Amino acid sequence: MRAFSLDTSLSATVLCEDNLYRTAWDFQDQLWHLANNYVRRDGGSAVAESDEVALILTQWREMLDGVDGDRDAVADRVDWVAKLRVVEGYQKRYDLAPGDARLRAIDLQYHDLRAERSLAQRVVCDSCSTWIKFVKRFTTRRTRRGLFFAASAWRAIPSKSWPQTGIVWSLI
């Protein structure tokens, strides 16, 4: 994972058990092919309705092809592509060196959860704004307190009992 975490070029490779080198994109592509073959062979009813499964596979393929070929085509759906576009645009506009403090500030401000400060919301990244709206639901004291108590209760249950308990997963 560390080999891939900062690699926006998608060229970093790792040696796999079969003695082949693979990139992060190669792994995602292989996962897509496995999922697609499963759906073709067994159907996707275990996952969702067939039209929804088809949409998931189509969008997944579009995003894989987009990050490999035309990143601008997926910048509205792939967070790191949208962020990279903002950072590189600012860097080019002001002729900044890669390690410039202003670029690091943009890096932090991009994911600011406050709507008025979030660069993610300004670039209208669908996945980013959805995440920000989701996180905002958990910013009230009452909600945080409820989540704290739910997490505390979860920790109190012995791990061997987890499958038998009726945990409300939406609270965790």
Q: Tell whether 108 and 158 lie within a shared domain.
A: no
Q: Tell whether 12 and 33 lie within a shared domain.
A: yes
Q: Tell whether 55 and 117 lie within a shared domain.
A: no
The whole domain housing 160 covers 143-171
Q: Tell whether 130 and 163 lie within a shared domain.
A: no
Q: Tell whether 80 and 132 lie within a shared domain.
A: yes
Question: Per residue in 23-59, pLDDT tens?
Answer: 999 999 999 999 999 999 988 888 788 888 899 899 9
Domain final position from 70, 98, 114: 70
Tell me the C-alpha distance between 95 and 106, whole Å: 15
Would you state the torsion angle of the CA atoms of residues 135, 54, 124, 92, taken in this order, to the nearest 10 degrees?
120
Q: Tell whether 50 and 23 lie within a shared domain.
A: yes
Mean pLDDT of the chain: 77
Domain final position from 70, 101, 120: 70
Q: With residue 33 as reference, give the H or E element that holds it.
A: helix 24-42
Pair 111, 129: CB distance under 8 Å? no
* Number of folded domains that form the chain: 3
pLDDT at residue 118 is higher than 60: yes
Place of tokens 């505390």: 152
Query: Would residue 124 be called left, alpha or beta, if left means φ above 0 and alpha means ψ between -120 and 50 degrees?
Result: left
Domain final position from 70, 93, 125: 70
Question: Per residue in 84-115, pLDDT tens?
Answer: 888 898 899 999 998 899 998 888 888 877 77
pTM, two decimals, is 0.63
